């Protein structure tokens, strides 16, 4: 009897949405896993691995297929192309799945999708690939070899090689393809009595030890493996989870999914008791909620974003956190909000970017990004920074951050901003970071994190103070 839900068919559906309709893989995959959360944990893990793996290795998979198929990948029908891609991924990277099963299931899926006439083609290509996979020769040109081996568009490699040496680039490429545990931020303990003192002191960011220990014990009791992160006392790696929404500690807001790099934005900003904070591009709200926690019930955080959908994501995280010193608002970061001018102690500008630092999590971004889109993003980033600066009061902080490793979107923007706005200067952030990161701080207030070099995503942050 055929299974009512076929994991490979779900994988194919996701691949079609991403490669043919331009949808984002992490969003489509999350929606599918949410819809079919009743599936066995192993089935859900299979869907996740084959989907993410096929997209992550797509250039390499196409290169391999072109060596065994008379019809080149670009000429194939989209459904057949994606069936073959996911099948070759299983042949090359999943030893637990027998080659015969991969071939047979791919043929069945092709027939089910209305391509019975191509069953022989699918079967022949996959059996030839399985037999000759170990003998595939990769390009001799060094950059082209990297492009195929790590499935990275050549133009991105050429862009990185202008700023980083080849060894660093290959280290990042390897890191992107590693399977990594999920990173979470434990809820920071609250001390509401601080609000009554009226004392302007650093709000702090350490978890109450008992709360941290309690969270770890609860996660471990639910079968989750927990490992501390070296940069922050409240950051942890977790693995062994299936559906986060089922975890009581997640439902209660005792932790949030967030990379350590993103947590460092609030650490570097060093909020003080009672601060007013505006996050101009906040969705899904991780940094804003983190900042509200660091304020320990004092001050206020306004988390803004452009669309009702994004504001809804922020509100979900606020509701789960239970915090009362934060609100979500729908606003366009490119348009000055007159009521906010000169009011904020801290403005967070974590702006839209190419995302080239998080390709290990959002694997399809490398296929969607173009040289032209990066140029447009730089213009947008500068436009938003020119608005965000107006909200900073004298003595206040502007935190600029991106999840990319492209200097044009990072240091180049900082230098441009400081030239255009002499009332701002770099603020030294070294004392707010762990010792391991202090030597990597540039110009006192800038930090570029690189995958594989640092224990985080690729990420950039800059802290600038308004002097007058």
Return d(Cα 7, Cα 14) in angstroms, integer. 11
Q: Residues 6 or more apart from 270 whose CB is under 8 A from it?
A: 202, 429, 432
Q: Which is nearest to 66 in space by CA: 140, 128, 146, 123?
A: 128
Give Cα separations from 272 to 199, 204, 328 (angstroms). 9, 8, 21
- Taking the C-alpha atoms of residue 12 and residue 9, their distance in angstroms, rounded to an integer, is 5
Distance CA(81)–CA(72), nearest Å, equals: 9
Contact (CB, 8 A) for 456 and 260: yes
In contact, 346 and 292? CB cutoff 8 Å: no
Query: Cα separation of 68 and 132, whole Å?
Result: 8
- Residues sharing a CB contact under 8 Å with residue 8, sequence separation 6 or more, in sequence order: 50, 86, 105, 106, 109
* CA–CA separation, 67 and 92 (whole Å): 14
Distance CA 139, CA 278 (A): 50
Residue of 207, 281, 403, 463 marked active site: 403
Helix and strand numbers (H, E) in the chain are 20, 13
Would you call the peptide bond into 284 cis, given omega within 30 degrees of 0 as the criterion?
Answer: yes
| Residue carrying structure tokens 């299931």 | 105
CA dihedral 233, 239, 243, 248 (to 10 degrees): -40
Q: Are 328 and 286 in contact (CB under 8 A)?
A: no
Active site annotation includes 403:
yes
CB-based contacts of 429, cutoff 8 Å, min separation 6: 268, 270, 441, 444, 445, 447, 463
Structural contact between residues 340 and 365, judged by C-beta atoms closer than 8 angstroms: no
Phi-psi region of 180 (alpha: psi -120 to 50; beta: other; left: phi over 0): beta
Residues assigned a catalytic role? 403
């Amino acid at each position: 009897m055929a299974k009512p839900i076929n994991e490979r068919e779900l994988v194919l559906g996701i691949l079609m949405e991403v490669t043919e309709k331009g949808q984002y893989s992490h969003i489509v995959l999350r929606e599918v896993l949410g819809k079919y959360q009743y599936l066995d944990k192993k089935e859900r893990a299979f869907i996740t691995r084959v989907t993410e793996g096929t997209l992550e290795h797509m250039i390499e998979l196409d290169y391999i297929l072109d060596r065994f198929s008379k019809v080149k990948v670009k000429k194939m029908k989209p459904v057949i192309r994606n069936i073959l891609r996911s099948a070759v991924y299983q042949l090359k990277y999943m030893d637990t799945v027998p080659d015969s099963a991969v071939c047979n299931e791919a043929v069945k899926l092709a027939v089910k999708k209305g391509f019975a006439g191509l069953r022989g083609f699918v079967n022949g290509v996959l059996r030839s690939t399985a037999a000759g996979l170990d003998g595939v020769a990769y390009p001799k040109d060094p950059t082209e070899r990297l492009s195929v081996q790590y499935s990275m568009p050549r133009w991105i490699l050429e862009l990185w090689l202008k700023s980083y040496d080849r060894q660093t680039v290959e280290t990042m490429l390897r890191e992107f393809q590693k399977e990594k545990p999920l990173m979470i931020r434990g809820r920071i303990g609250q001390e509401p009595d601080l609000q009554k003192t009226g004392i302007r002191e650093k709000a702090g960011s350490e978890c109450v030890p008992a709360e941290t220990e309690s969270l770890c014990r609860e996660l471990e009791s639910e079968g989750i493996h927990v490992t501390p992160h070296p940069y922050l006392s409240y950051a942890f790696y977790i693995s062994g989870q299936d559906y986060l929404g089922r975890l009581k500690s997640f439902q209660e807001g005792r932790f949030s999914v967030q990379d350590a790099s993103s947590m460092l934005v609030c650490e570097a900003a060093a909020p003080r008791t009672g601060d007013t904070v505006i996050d101009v591009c906040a969705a899904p709200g991780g940094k804003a909620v983190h900042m509200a926690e660091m304020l320990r019930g004092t001050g206020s955080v306004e988390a803004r974003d452009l669309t009702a959908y994004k504001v809804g994501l922020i509100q979900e995280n606020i509701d789960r956190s239970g915090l009362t010193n934060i609100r979500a608002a729908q606003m366009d970061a490119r348009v000055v909000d007159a009521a906010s001018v000169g009011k904020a102690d801290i403005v967070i500008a974590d702006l839209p970017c190419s995302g080239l630092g998080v390709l290990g999590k959002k694997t399809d971004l490398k296929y969607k990004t173009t040289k032209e889109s990066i140029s447009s993003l730089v213009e947008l980033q500068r436009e938003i920074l020119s608005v965000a600066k107006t909200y900073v009061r004298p003595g206040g902080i502007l935190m600029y951050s991106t999840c990319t490793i492209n200097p044009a979107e990072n240091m180049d923007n900082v230098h441009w901003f400081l030239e255009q706005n002499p009332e701002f200067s770099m603020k030294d952030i070294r004392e707010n970071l762990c010792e391991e990161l202090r030597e990597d701080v540039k110009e006192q207030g800038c930090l570029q994190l690189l995958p594989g070099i640092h224990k985080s995503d690729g990420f950039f942050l800059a802290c600038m103070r308004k002097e007058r």
